[in-house]
Amino acid sequence: MNERLQSLDIFRGLTIAFMIIVNTPGDWSMAYDVLEHAKWHGFTPTDLVFPSFVYITGVSAWFSFKRNGHTPSPDLLKKIWKRTLIIFLMGVGLYAFPFYTSSPANWRIPGVLQRIALCYGIGSTLCLYLNKTQIIGLCAALLLGYWGIMLGFGDLTLAGNAVLKLDLWLLGENHLYHGEGVAFDPEGLLSTIPSLGTFLIGYLTGQYIGLNTDRQKVFNNLAICGALLVISGVIWHFAFPINKKLWTSSYVLFAGGLSMILFNTCYYLVDIAGVKNWGKPFIVFGTNAILAYMVSELLVIGMSTFYRVKTATGTTDGHEASYNALFASWLGHTEFASFMYALAYTGLCWLVVYLFYRKNIFLKVG
């Protein structure tokens, strides 16, 4: 089995491209419903982006540890936790940037990169010490334990859930996300527990692919496993609703199963059928994922913060001005115009990352 799965790079690139599209509409009030997260309980295609990243991190971890024989050592653990710390701090810094406009007293502590970092660090360390059966048992314990905590120490409402209670106690509301209208962080500390389950599902996927040479059998069994995870998540939903913002246990199974099915589809097309040309554009993002993420975030922050445009009624930022001038002016303030802006912005990010790809420059952390 090759050390680097091209299908994994393509799936990672697809995920990043979809992430940029949903994160950067021309007008948030004009986004298509399928390009927005579920308001609370429920699921939209957008809710698959983040768990796919965590799942991919798990798959990649197994292959990256192959050169170390999947054996823990002081050097390997140091490397894992150095990478964890750097990615975590990158996430905090990204939310605080530009630093002169914010105070450390109000910096958001949880976040997307922060959760990926914690899942990678904690998940990788545990997996190096556990066998497959123990990893499955740990995953079950995490999901069942989280279910018990959520029901035992709060309810499943925005204001009364245990995730919010723990974050308020440990971090305070100033360090949390306020996009819900109140202080509540969808990447809260407590909900990192079940997100480890998403990482473990990915790690077990990588292990299964890496230890089996019969690719058709791998595809068949992953298809069955993915379907069973989705069905299990749907069944659990009736007792513990699928909820991305709480990262509920049913959501772990449902989204993990969908991630497995989508990745397995890429695996079949690329690594079994040899149909690869369609995926080449996504390799640019997929082989430089952290750079692609940082570029997509920093570009829009820069446009919104440093670039001001005069209008008839005052001034506006570069993001809104470019949307109005390039798309809304001739397509109207419509969902289609907002979507076309998102596609164009994704293309711009791709061009920036492609320049690095052409020069063989890849951002590595740790």
Span 10-46, pLDDT tens digits: 999 999 999 999 999 999 888 999 999 999 999 999 9
Helix (H, G, I), strand (E, B) or coil at 317: strand
- Residue 312 has what pLDDT? 64
Residue 91 covered by a domain: yes
Query: Residues near 360 by Cβ (< 8 Å), separated by ≥ 6?
Result: none
Euclidean distance between CA atoms 9 and 80, whole angstroms: 21
Candidates 179, 155, 177, 178; CA nearest to 165 is: 155
Output the pLDDT for position 136. Answer: 97
Amino acid at 182: V
- Close Cβ partners of 310 (under 8 Å, ≥ 6 residues apart): none
Backbone torsion region of residue 42, taken as left when φ is above 0, otherwise alpha when ψ lies between -120 and 50, otherwise beta: left
Closest CA to 56 of 187, 195, 201, 189: 201
Percent of the chain with pLDDT over 90: 80
Give me the number of domains the chain comprises: 1
Residue 300, both tokens: 């829009």
131-149 burial, b if ≥16 CB within 10 A, otherwise e?
eeeebeebbeebbeebbeb
Contact (CB, 8 A) for 120 and 83: yes
Summarised one tens digit per residue, pLDDT across range 152-187 is 999 999 999 999 999 999 999 999 998 888 899 999
* Cα 66 to Cα 53, 79, 131, 287, distances in angstroms: 20, 15, 14, 18
Note down the domain range covering 186. Answer: 6-358
* Structure-token pair, residue 250: 């049913």
Is 364 contained in some domain? no
Query: In Å, how far are 83, 205, 253 from 225, measured between CA atoms?
Result: 31, 10, 11
pLDDT tens-digit map of 55-103:
999 999 999 999 889 999 999 999 999 999 999 999 999 888 877 667 8
Percent of the chain clearing pLDDT 70 (strictly above): 97
Domain assignment present for 1: no
148 domain residue, yes or no:
yes
The mean pLDDT of 188-197, rounded to a whole number, is 97
- Residue 363 included in any domain: no
Domain membership of residue 366 (yes or no) is: no
Tens-place pLDDT, residues 228-285: 999 999 999 999 999 999 999 999 999 999 999 999 999 999 999 999 899 999 999 9
User: Which contacts of 92-96 are long-range, i.e. CB under 8 A and separated by 24 or more positions?
Assistant: 94/294, 94/297, 94/298
Q: Contact, 226 vs 260, CB < 8 A? A: yes
pTM of the model: 0.93
**252 within domain boundaries:** yes
